[in-house]
Amino acid sequence: MNDTLRFAPATGIGSLPGTDAREAAKAATGSFEDFPHLPELPARGPGADMIGRTAGLLVELYARVEPSGWRIGDRPGRDTRRARSWLREDLDALEEFTQGYEGLLKVQAVGPWTLAASLELKNGEAALSDPGACRDLAASLAEGLRLHLDEVRRRVPGAQLVLQLDEPSLTAVLRGQVKTASGYRTHRAVDRQIVEGALRDVVAVHDGGPVVVHSCAPDVPFALLRRAGVTGISFDFSLLTERDDEAIGEAVEDGTRLFAGVVPGTDAPLSDPAGSVMGVRTLWRRLGLRPGLLPEAVTITPACGLAGASPGYARSAYAHCVRAARSLADNPE
């Protein structure tokens, strides 16, 4: 945990609509002047999706597209080359719009457990079915992320990098809810200590830098993520229930940053900014936390990536996050 780190009040999650890397970089850097992120554009096709993009980062492991999804293969093929090419294009655009930038910059990749639940082995089953494959995948991902972070540092030398691991399947992995290839059964639940250990190993590649885990699924395992050493936890605020209260209160008291997804990820009417963060204020009162702590503990984001939104809505959602965060800071009570 980096006690000296000061997070900015708002940022995006990762994905945006469209296929133009320069437009996406301009939106991410222009909307969040003190906490931009590296955009992802899944609409370009396989390799730009979050699984294919992260598969392209792996070291000595490769994946290709099959009718059923991404499958681990023996050698890099056109799908790997395409994923890496699009990432370079995105980094080129980001570099162009961050000349001289000094501050927080977030990059995203799929975490080890969602990757294990999504990548297939040669037999068509998820890598999750094989403990050895899970270990190899986590180690390959860790090395790939280390190289990726080095590349971003080289391109944007003034930035303080924040690594976001996307783990929407994490709860399903812990509960044994990931379906087998047949769809009739589910893979066995993975032991919590094994899950925590793999996450800790991947978090460690950032050398003490801030790592955020994002999940837009219900029942985010706040306590497990804290034990794994994350700096922040990003979640869809609308999916919280009162049974999450204790875990959230403990996270805040421990200094864990909350990335509260309060703005819908697909086109929807946007309330006034104060209304968007009303639930955050209500949660704070329910937990008995000091209102003045709110801007120090919470970053406002969309609920999830915006790949399914219209371009106009995506721009509005980003601007709305900034205004909602300002409302929270100005009127924490």
Tens digit of each residue's pLDDT (9 = 90 or more) over 49-64 = 999 999 999 999 999 9
pLDDT score at 204: 96
pLDDT score at 111: 98
The sign of the dihedral angle between the CA atoms of 129, 216, 106, 28 is positive
Q: Is 0.85 surpassed by the pTM of this model? A: yes
pLDDT score at 8: 87
- In the predicted model, residues of the chain with pLDDT beneath 50 are 1-4
pLDDT score at 97: 96
pLDDT score at 135: 96
pLDDT score at 182: 86
